[in-house]
Amino acid sequence: MSRTGRKPISVPPGVQVQLDGHIITVKGPKGELSRQLPPEISVEQEEGMLLVKRTSDSPRHRAMHGLTRTLIDNMIVGVTEGFSRTLELVGVGYRAAKQGNNLVLNIGFSHPVVFEPEQNMEIEVPSNTKIIIKGIDKQQVGNFAAVIRKVYPPEPYKGKGIRYENEMVRRKVGKAGK
């Protein structure tokens, strides 16, 4: 058995888990998430715990076992606590601002870059060089942060660009002058 898949998932009070065939729906204080489970995986609900089981020992079923358990656990954490990603802007004159719901980036292009947050997601700009993306779906928050970072990823010579908080950028030396 998979070490990850074997662990039971505890369901905190205030969270409702509903199983309907191969669709699992999790409702909590922050919102509701739903996901379709693979047909080879089954979920059993017992006394505030969820157990994820697989039908056979084939490599695909073993892989899906741990993945499914982690996805369900992320759904429960998302509707109770939520997820966040922090981005930093590094560069002279680079700044972020919030206009209504939209995020506006001025990062050295001839035009500002505007992002509209997806559903169940919010953007905070505590300072003009810091962006915090919050939401209940871990995958959605991570993908949105990656899309913003992709506009101007950190470059290796001066380190300018958009980077994750605490991301280490390996710097290159560049040309040596005479």
| pLDDT tens digit sequence for 9-47 | 999 999 999 999 889 999 999 999 999 999 888 899 888
Domain identity same for 66 and 88: no
* Structural domain containing residue 47: 3-80
**Residue 174 falls inside a structural domain:** no
The residues, ordered by sequence, that sit 6+ positions from 28 with a Cβ below 8 Å of its Cβ are 14, 15, 16, 76, 78, 79, 80
As given in the structure block, the two tokens for residue 79 are 């509707």
pTM of the model: 0.88
State yes or no: pLDDT of 177 exceeds 70: no
Q: Residue 84 and residue 123: Cα distance in Å, rounded? A: 10
Domain identity same for 98 and 153: yes
How is 39-87 classified by DSSP, letter by letter?
TTEEEEEETTEEEEEES---HHHHHHHHHHHHHHHHHHHHHHT-EEEEE
Domain endpoint, select from 37, 58, 80: 80
Domain endpoint, select from 80, 101, 125: 80
Strand order in the sheet with 9-10: 9-10, 49-54, 41-46
Instruction: Calculate the average pLDDT of the chain.
Output: 91
Query: So what's the pLDDT on residue 178?
Result: 61
Position 94 confidence tier, pLDDT thresholds 50, 70, 90: very high
Domain identity same for 57 and 111: no
Domain identity same for 23 and 73: yes
Domain identity same for 88 and 110: yes
When divided into structural domains, the chain yields a total of: 2
Domain identity same for 117 and 131: yes
Domain identity same for 49 and 109: no
Quick count: other Cβ atoms within 10 Å of Cβ 125?
16
State yes or no: pLDDT of 48 exceeds 60: yes
**Residue 173 falls inside a structural domain:** no
Domain identity same for 125 and 103: yes
**Residue 170 falls inside a structural domain:** no
The residues, ordered by sequence, that sit 6+ positions from 67 with a Cβ below 8 Å of its Cβ are none
Query: So what's the pLDDT on residue 5?
Result: 81
Domain identity same for 9 and 71: yes
Domain identity same for 157 and 88: yes
